[in-house]
Amino acid sequence: MSDDVRDRVDAALSGFLDRIEGEWPARAPDDVIGVLRDFVLGGGKRLRPAFCCAGWRAAGGPDTGEVIVAAAALELFHAFALIHDDIIDDSDTRRGAPAVHRRLAGRGPVFGRHAALLCGDLCAAWAEQMFHECGLPPDRIAAAHPILARMRTEVIAGQYLDLAAAAGTVADALQVVRLKGARYTVTRPLQIGARLAGGDDTLGDALAAFGDPLGDAFQLRDDVLGVFGDPDVTGKPALDDLREGKPTVLIALTREALPPARRDRFELLLGDPRLDETGAAVLRGIIVATGALSRVERMIGQRRDAALSALEAAPVPDDVRKELSELTISAIDRNH
């Protein structure tokens, strides 16, 4: 993504938060706006706005500030998802800083969690407001809104499945990847942008053929980094997913390949909230020894190739094809 798009998205978010701050009820705690401003503007790859803008240009949309505002609204929805995800996972940090529920825990951890839930709700509500107030024609907003609504449902369904499939199969884990990460990171933002510009179902289907495998690969990479990543680079502790026993594809493949003699040791450590680096090293060693890490890396490569192949066939302008190809590489070949 170009620095210009990132800067314009950040400026749109900052302007919206400035306006909201002026509307904030006088007796409501001021720290909520400050915490959310820091969280929303304090980092992130801005992938969803970038894909939304690419979808807009794929449908022939001109360079305009209105679509930047619509795309930036997706970042507010992303903030909602991250805030709630950190509460569910009991994560201490996000983007190298305290998670929102930790920042708001001055009156105790229960208060911090409850206040963060409300902050997440605010971000979801603000995303809807910002999207509808972006300035594009009402008929274009109305045409794109069903895709936005579908994206929200898919994310929440994926989060629920993530909770429910504590010891699920590889197929269960892949369904969570598709709903919780892939569609909402790549496919739906692309389709929202295209529909805002007047794109039809044929273009939307072509963008999905590219976006679904790319989004899967992105989420699979995220899950690998959650176990093997450097916390100084990822901004999150490398113990969180293991302490939670997060049912990722990586973990499902490990369980599938483990001989009974080693399964008890793995299950004893996985999901232990007191897991330390010594225990984590044992788990990582088991994951590598079963071949699960290698298999996930192959899956990432296969999905990257499928996405690039679909992109070659997609009816999009050459400059958009080039941009999406670059976004593909940056989304997958990363260390954060």
- pLDDT at 1 exceeding the cut of 60: no
- Higher confidence at residue 177 or residue 165? 177
Residues 25-44: tens digit of each pLDDT = 866 666 888 899 999 998 88
CATH of the domain at 173: 1.10.600.10
| pLDDT score of 336 | 64
Give the domain extent around 213: 3-332
How high is the pLDDT of residue 30? Answer: 63
Cβ atoms within 10 Å of 114's Cβ, excluding its own: 15
**CB of 172 closer than 8 Å to CB of 247:** yes
Higher pLDDT, 111 or 333: 111
Average pLDDT over residues 253-279: 90
| The pLDDT of residue 56 | 98
Of 24-38, 174-188, 252-266, the one with minimum mean pLDDT is 24-38
Residue among 97, 96, 80 at smallest CA distance from 184: 80
Q: What average pLDDT does this structure show over 51-75?
A: 97
- Mean pLDDT over all residues of the chain? 92
- The yes-or-no verdict on residue 252 having pLDDT over 80 is yes
Strand, coil or helix: 307: helix
Q: How confident is the model at residue 240 (pLDDT cuts 50, 70, 90)?
A: confident
Query: pLDDT grade, residue 23 (50/70/90)?
Result: confident
What are 8-12's contacts with CB under 8 Å, separation 24+? Answer: 8/65, 8/68, 9/46, 9/49, 9/68, 9/71, 9/72, 9/75, 10/41, 10/46, 12/65, 12/68, 12/69, 12/72
**pLDDT given at position 320:** 96
Residue 106 pLDDT: 86
- Of the ranges 152-166, 232-246, 272-286, the best mean pLDDT one: 272-286
Residues for the chain: how many in total?
Answer: 336
> How many domains would you assign to the chain?
1
- In the predicted model, is pLDDT for residue 212 greater than 80? yes
In degrees to the nearest 10, what's the CA dihedral of 67, 71, 73, 74?
A: 160
Instruction: Write out pLDDT tens, residues 296-309.
Output: 999 999 999 999 99
pLDDT above 80: residue 317 = yes
Q: With H, G, I as helix, E, B as strand and everything else as coil, classify residue 125.
A: helix
- 146 or 171, which is more confident: 146
User: Looking at residues 242-259, what average pLDDT do you find?
Assistant: 91
Tell me what pLDDT residue 2 has: 64
Q: Which of 60, 57, 56, 43 has its CA nearest to residue 6?
A: 43
Q: pLDDT value at position 218?
A: 94
* pTM (two decimals): 0.93
**Residue with more model confidence, 10 or 330:** 10
Check pLDDT > 80 for residue 162.
Answer: yes
